[in-house]
């Protein structure tokens, strides 16, 4: 599957008013840091339970253009993993 540059994807964010951050993950086995994204808001909501996160933090789902996510991840040294709600990786994009 190939995600289009102008396609909206869903990411998970945390933080307060103008200081939001994307939820990143780190795979210790492969030493890869990545930003998980999902094709629908429902998949993001369901996939949140599979991700490592701080239990005392509020999370929300936000839509972002795939091209903007790619640019951000590249600038910050993250991979992008497009995931299904089950955690299955649909697509990987290296920084």
Q: Which residues pair with 83 in a beta bridge?
A: 38, 89
Domain regions of the chain by residue span: 8-93
E strands, the chain, where?
8-14, 21-22, 25-27, 32-38, 59-65, 79-83, 89-93
Q: What is the pLDDT along the chain (95 residues), one digit of tens a residue?
A: 678 889 999 999 998 878 899 999 999 999 999 999 999 999 999 999 999 988 889 999 999 999 999 999 999 999 999 999 999 999 999 98
| pTM, 2 dp | 0.90
Quick one: how many helices (H) and strands (E) in the chain?
Answer: 2, 7
């Amino acid at each position: 599957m190939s995600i289009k540059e102008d396609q909206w994807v869903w990411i998970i964010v945390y933080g307060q008013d103008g200081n939001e951050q994307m939820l990143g993950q780190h795979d210790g086995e492969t030493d890869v840091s990545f930003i998980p994204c999902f094709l629908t808001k429902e998949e993001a909501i369901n996939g949140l339970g599979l991700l490592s996160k701080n239990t005392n933090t509020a999370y929300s789902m936000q839509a972002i253009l795939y091209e903007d996510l790619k640019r951000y991840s590249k600038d910050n040294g993250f991979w992008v993993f497009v995931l299904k709600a089950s955690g299955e990786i649909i697509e990987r994009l290296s920084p």
